[in-house]
Amino acid sequence: MKRWGDLSQETADHLGAGSVLDHAEMAVVVTDRFSNLLYWNPFAERLFGHTVATSARDISVLSLGIMEKDHPLAIELAKHVLKGGVWEGTFDVRRGDGTIVYVRAQAVPLRHDSGSVTGIVILAREALRSNEREKDRFGLLERIGERLAGSLYVEETLKRVAEMLVPQFADHCFIELTEGDRLVRRVSQHVQGWAPPLGTWKPVGAEIRYPSGHYADTALRRQETILVEDFSNSSFPAPTESSARLCGEIGMTSAIVAPLLVRGETLGLMYLGLSNLTDRRSPHYDAFDRDFVGAIATRVALAIDNALLFEEERHTAESFQKHLLPRALPQLDGLQIAVRYYPAAPLASHGQGIQTQVGGDWYDVIPLSAGRVGIVIGDVEGRGAKAAAVMGQLRAALRAFAQDDKSPADILARLDEWTRIIATPEQDDNGADISIPPIVTCQYLVYDAWSRQLSFANAGHAPPLLLVDGQCVELDIEEVGQPLGVRAKGLHADLVYKEETRTLPPGAALLLYTDGLVDRRPGRDGRPPSEEETLGVLCEALTKMSGAEAERIADVATVAVPGEIDDDMAILVVRSSDVDLDVEERTFPAQPIMVGEARRMASEAFAGWNVPEERAELACLLVSEVVTNVVLHAATSSVPRRELVVEGPPLPFEESWDVPGLDDEVVGDKEFTLRLRRGEESVWVEVFDQDLRLPRIRSAGENDEGGRGLYLVDQLARRWGSRPTREGKAVWFEIPTRSR
């Protein structure tokens, strides 16, 4: 008889180091100091579901399937162990077949004989399959809470729950939510490689009706978690005959159904089941499992409720902003336009809870006089519905200000004043006004497609990107004013915002954007990329698209910078035409005889442009009326007589003494300029003169000979108006070249 501890040769061979590692039901993974795999035993391949060639080199431990969200945890493990410590924790691992398992790991240093740490030894096993069930359950419960805390979308929340429970804790998982008085299946998750045949279990999106007496119906009515420990010892009515037949075919053994309760309301239920599709240590749930699932259901219900509230808030803010932004862009001559707006993804882990990323970014395209166009890009500080509301007020105000055809600097000055007016009124303890206006960056540009002249003023906004001749550079801006709402007291806005003018080359494109385009959330290294880095990446991508259409440029700009956007993003792309647009211009003396000459010039131009005869005659009639109005006012305008002031004693009069301006009125040579422009669907007429007085329609008496010219223009033109110029004013009108 052998003594205790005596081993046969076969047993002794089996206990060799290599044999033990090959047969141990524990994953053993060894890495070097750089986390490259050096050794892994057969059980590690089965646990992680990956086979790595033994001849491979420089393969990271992350290649075993550790999910991306746990990569920072793996980095922390390596840092801690390489310092000589011991680390223990859990990972979510995606196997090669796509299933997700919950793995508990312990890592210890691998030391050289000299005592230095040369690598890491990782011992791992699948959680919930060991005898330390209570510890594993609470570990999984903690992990589920962490995962759900960062979930702000209902579908994402439900998917995360199902992936963590199947096949880790269940073979089948159904989650059903109430919609009114209906119960609708939202999740149907099963062990990998199996799916219920059609016509058996109800699919996602189907209405679910559990018969009276069914354990799920009992869970809903009693609002408590129900355990079916062993189906072989229980009998319940089935929803359908086909579903009951399928349960028998796959050998359903046990189930737990937990209602999803929050704030006294039932959101739905969660169903977990075990079957013979998998080989488990225990094919049945028990009371401990029931309590565990009840705790999970509480966290799931709270996460779903938060997600529903967030989606409602986000939908409200997005709808609000969607209706504040222009729904359709005008068709403009000599200009292609493309716009994009994207709200950022919700803040999942920034300590800000449920917060929509819809903000105050906006854009606008405003038709102005004679085919000119106002272009706006702006960003209100802050996020949510309040920022969107401020944006809506500013956009409406700027549109109204733009109709005056003032310079871009004047428009921004007025908008700055308006920004202060809409500030939320607040007072200190002494009743003094301490209202803080919103901070807004904005850029307003006016583009004339016929002259290619671009006038603009900037209020603290990022310069547009200019794409021309295969290059992408920032538009040169000499004066960048302060953002709206932050101007110092006593400093007038006219001194802050300056107008600049550039001429766009034919075919050049401008990309206007808000900072959401170049702001990105931190990457895997935990460091957000700098604005210079992202701007360089953006310009590199746009350089290749400098000759593309505006829509294509907008598409490329949207995806050019990698990473998740950290703020909402607005993009506006404008491209000038490659060809010159038709224009005729001539200056005349402000004399009555020139009215006929101006009409003749217009008639010849319209004929050369093939404007329909009826439209051309109407335009010529209105040219006569506007030019006549200009000539009449030029003739009747008074010019002050110059006065000679002589100090001292009277001087003797001499006939030869000629003092300019003493005897004659100084009447400057009056003249007007007629400018005609042809567009795709309209012609524009502009008449310029040196009179600063803007015209207005007045009522003419029954016997009055005049006073009806502007009334005719108002009635017969599609649009008309006047605007001040540096030399005087311009009166303009638009006539469509097609029938109304």
pLDDT tens profile 19-35:
788 888 888 999 998 88
pLDDT at 251 over 70: yes
Domain 133-313 CATH (choose: 3.10.580.10, 3.30.450.40, 3.50.50.60, 3.30.950.10):
3.30.450.40
Q: Can you give the pLDDT at residue 37?
A: 87
Cβ atoms 359, 389 nearer than 8 A = no
Whether pLDDT at 350 is above 50:
no
In the chain, the amino acid numbered 352 is: Q
Query: Strands of 729-736's sheet, edge to edge?
Result: 583-589, 671-678, 682-689, 729-736, 719-724
CATH number of this structure's domain 19-128: 3.30.450.20
Higher-pLDDT residue of 10 and 283 is 283
Phi/psi at 279 (5° precision): -105, 105
Torsional class of 585: left (φ above 0), alpha (ψ -120 to 50), beta (otherwise): beta
Q: In Å, how far from its chain's centre is CA 311?
A: 16
For the packed helices 709-716 and 613-636, what is the interaxial angle rounded to 10 degrees? 150
Closest by Cα among 721, 730, 735, 724 to 622: 735
Is the predicted pLDDT of residue 279 greater than 90, yes or no? no
Q: Which of 36-50, 141-155, 205-219 has the lowest mean pLDDT?
A: 141-155
Task: Assess if CATH 3.90.230.10 describes domain 327-576.
Answer: no
Residues 583-636+668-736: name the CATH superfamily: Histidine kinase-like ATPase, C-terminal domain (3.30.565.10)
Query: Mind listing the pLDDT tens digit for each residue in 619-663?
Result: 999 999 899 888 887 666 544 444 444 455 554 544 444 444 434
CA 580 to chain centre: 36
Is there a common fold for 133-313 and 583-636+668-736?
no
pTM, full prediction: 0.62
H helix intervals, 83-200: 133-149, 154-165
Q: 376 has which bridge partners?
A: 364, 444
Query: Residue 653's pLDDT is what?
Result: 44
Looking at mean pLDDT, say which of 77-91, 132-146, 265-279, 515-529 comes out highest.
265-279
Cα–Cα–Cα angle for 9, 12, 13, nearest 5°? 85
- In angstroms, rounded to a whole number, what is the distance separating the alpha carbons of residues 42 and 51? 9
Q: Which amino acid, 78?
A: A
Higher-scoring residue by pLDDT: 386, 591? 591
- 412 φ, ψ to 5°? -65, -35
Nearest to 687 by CA among 672, 697, 677: 672
Give the position of tokens 């004989």: 113
Average of per-residue pLDDT across 595-604: 93
Q: Which residues pair with 736 in a beta bridge?
A: 682
Alpha-carbon gap, residue 696 to 402, rounded angstroms: 19
Least confident of 79-83, 395-399, 615-619: 79-83
Domain assignments of the chain as residue spans, ordered by start: 19-128, 133-313, 327-576, 583-636+668-736
Tens of pLDDT, residues 81-107: 888 888 877 787 888 777 777 788 888
> Kindly report the CA angle at 525 between 522 and 528, in degrees rounded to 5?
25
Average pLDDT value over all residues in the chain:
81
Percent of the chain with pLDDT over 90: 32
The radius of gyration of the chain from alpha carbons, rounded to an integer in Å, stands at 39
For residues 309 and 274, is the Cβ–Cβ distance under 8 A? no
Residue 247 has pLDDT above 70, yes or no: yes
Bridge partner residues of 93 (DSSP): 66, 101
Task: State which amino acid sits at residue 315.
Answer: H
